[in-house]
Amino acid sequence: MTSGATSAPRPIERVAVVGTGLMGTSVALAAARAGATVSGWDVDPPTTARAAAVGGFAGAATLQEAVEGAELVVVCTPIPMIADSVAASLSATTAAIVTEVGSIMDSVAMEVAERADQADLRRFVPGHPMGGSERSGPEHASPSVLDGIVWVLSATASTDPEAVEVVETWVAGLGARPVRMPADRHDRLVAFVSHLPQVASTALMSLAASEEADEPEILLLAAGGFRDLTRLAASDASLWSSILLANRAQIAEAIDLYVDRLRLLRADVVELRGEAVRSTFAQAKEARLRLAAKPQVRSGVAVLQVEAPDRPGALAELTAILAEGRVNIEDLQIVHSPEGGRGTVHLTVAAAAADDATEVLTGAGFDPIRLA
């Protein structure tokens, strides 16, 4: 491998996945979909077997067997195991590029540098696909986990630029969006947009569970908003414990700033500063509406609220009607009524398509309400 290559990197044909949980098996499925031959290994043999059955790839008995002949090794282990797994993968191969999918970049890269041979570090490309699920295990894996997501690549001072280009091309071939970013900047940003949401969700669910001891009906009253905000609380406890501890300085800063924002809102409410409260909600709403599913529609979106019966096929009927009217759905949220029998669907469409969507839905007997 040499730096300064001018030709496009050739396609990766052989991929090895080390760690075959949800993300590892999803990577394996996406790599196979892109045409690569995939092998996989997990420290837990039953997990390797289950993942191989789901992913249709060759399960290996050892890490060395998995990476033999691979052009790219993707380490998908829990954070405490990443550095050792990367170092072992680099040592077991002479030419394969090794990347990983950990949620933390800076500290992991430093640990790898301490464990791996200096000459091998040129083949190491730290990475983090910004996707996943609150579920865990290979049974919940899907190549769609990677579709359209941002995949951050944070080259170290030792990384060969050509290795970055190879991984970048491979990531794009999986259907993800490669983005280069310094490791320390990545770790600070994900503390706010990935780790803090997990903390907030977990803290809210924990608070409600504590209150339930004295108010057993509290969760009976929980509607869609509560379920949306606490979805992440169902995530893997060990995984998130290791992520937060590994990024402790950055997440501590994020929590402090979040607490400051909550205290400010609390003070405005207590002091009856109605305009300040309204302004906070209005600014947050405007920012949330810019958070569209695709960059090309961030210039403007609309949210339509549609009542739908809680029965099999109701959602499919709704989406089919919009498809027939050639209206693309940018985002969709289902809010079930606690009384049962009906539900509310929030449809996000491009602002320019809002009138068409309203007309199509009204013509089909629905009564859409534009929320924004």
Q: Is the pLDDT of residue 107 over 70?
A: yes
pTM, two decimal places: 0.75
How far apart are alpha carbons 268 and 270 in whole angstroms?
Answer: 6
pLDDT tens-place string over residues 15-27: 999 999 999 999 9
State the CATH architecture for 292-370.
Answer: 2-Layer Sandwich (3.30)
How far apart are alpha carbons 317 and 323 in whole angstroms?
Answer: 10
State the CATH architecture for 187-288.
Answer: Orthogonal Bundle (1.10)
What mean pLDDT do residues 234-263 have? 93
DSSP 59-85: EPSSHHHHHTT-SEEEE---HHHHHHH
pLDDT of residue 136: 77
Q: Is the pLDDT of residue 288 over 70?
A: yes
What mean pLDDT do residues 297-317 have? 76
Q: Is the pLDDT of residue 198 over 70?
A: yes
pLDDT classification of 222: cutoffs 50, 70, 90: confident
Q: CATH 1.10.3660.10 residue ranges in the chain?
A: 187-288
Q: Is the pLDDT of residue 9 over 80?
A: no
How big is the chain by its Cα radius of gyration, in Å?
23
Cα 169–Cα 173–Cα 176 angle in degrees, nearest 5: 95
Worst-scoring range by mean pLDDT, 105-109, 112-116, 341-345, 349-353? 341-345
pLDDT classification of 134: cutoffs 50, 70, 90: low
The tokens describing 5, both together, are 């290559």
Provide the total of helices (H) and of strands (E) in the chain, helices listed first: 14, 13
**Which H or E run contains 301?**
strand 301-309
pLDDT of residue 279: 96
Phi, psi at 174, each rounded to 5°: -80, -10
Worst-scoring range by mean pLDDT, 161-165, 249-253, 303-307, 329-333? 329-333
pLDDT tens-place string over residues 250-273: 999 999 999 999 999 999 999 999
Q: Which of 76, 73, 80, 45 is CA-nearest to residue 59?
A: 45
What mean pLDDT do residues 34-44 have? 95
Q: Between 349 and 108, where is the model more confident?
A: 108
CA separation, residue 367 to residues 86, 129, 136, 304, 362 (Å): 55, 39, 38, 10, 6
Q: CATH 3.40.50.720 residue ranges in the chain?
A: 14-181
Q: CATH 3.30.70.260 residue ranges in the chain?
A: 292-370
Q: Is the pLDDT of residue 81 over 90?
A: yes
Q: Is the pLDDT of residue 291 over 80?
A: no
Q: Between 191 and 303, where is the model more confident?
A: 191
pLDDT tens-place string over residues 139-178: 888 898 898 899 999 999 999 999 999 999 999 999 999 9
Q: Is the pLDDT of residue 343 over 90?
A: no
Q: Among the ranges 61-65, 136-140, 212-216, which has the highest mean pLDDT value?
A: 61-65
What average pLDDT does the structure give for the chain?
Answer: 88
Phi, psi at 209, each rounded to 5°: -65, -40
Domain 14-181 sits in CATH at: 3.40.50.720
pLDDT of residue 4: 46
Q: Is the pLDDT of residue 96 over 80?
A: yes
